[in-house]
Structure 1
């Protein structure tokens, strides 16, 4: 039969307001990164698959930077799951990326 200290160590409590605040900051960073990388892809003239790969690269880089800032070994203090941190806003910010990408590409390379 496990002792009380083993049961107490297994329970993790999170502050809901702190987790929401952290995810709100990450969402803001994702939006900014999507807009900035979309503008960069437009200026560089990336098209089709190269532009899509640039988006994946920029989002992955942001994910690594967030984990680095939180601490690779202590990210659990700030976020519930590493996977959800990467995937949760992936497609939501894709539209921001495409909007900035096509607008800047059109302004620089078409006109």
Structure 2
């Protein structure tokens, strides 16, 4: 018997695995957002520069996930391949703002 090759176009999505992938993506993004917020608060970024820092960091994380975790084929892990770049970005923004303002207030309050 020869082993059958699985065609990616015929791949079936299992809802449990899709949910687990989404949960993992949310955890990675929220953790990374907290780290970015700590960095932005420590650096003393304010206003637009702080938001640009977040979105550039989020884009960098998306590229890392695309290349390292999905090995440049996100269609095997998500129903929509663009979910790698969009899922959890705005949810992570709240964690980012929380840690950004916390560290900025602690470090730069007397500047």
- Partner residue in 1 for 2:95: 96
Runs of 4+ residues deviating >6 angstroms: none
- Asked if 1:85 is matched to 2:105, the reply is no
Runs (5+) with no aligned partner, structure 1: 1-7
- Partner residue in 2 for 1:71: 71
CA shift, 1:22, in A, is 1.0
RMSD of aligned C-alpha atoms? 1.8
CA shift, 1:82, in A, is 2.7
TM-score, length of structure 2 as denominator length: 0.83
Describe the shift of the 1:10–1:100 C-alpha distance in structure 2 as closer, same or farther (beyond 3 A): closer
**Secondary structure of the residue that 2:108 maps to in structure 1?**
helix
- Partner residue in 2 for 1:107: 106
- Partner residue in 1 for 2:19: 20
TM-score, length of structure 1 as denominator length: 0.83
Q: Which range is displaced more, 10-19 or 50-59?
A: 10-19
CA shift, 1:11, in A, is 4.4
Runs (5+) with no aligned partner, structure 2: 1-6
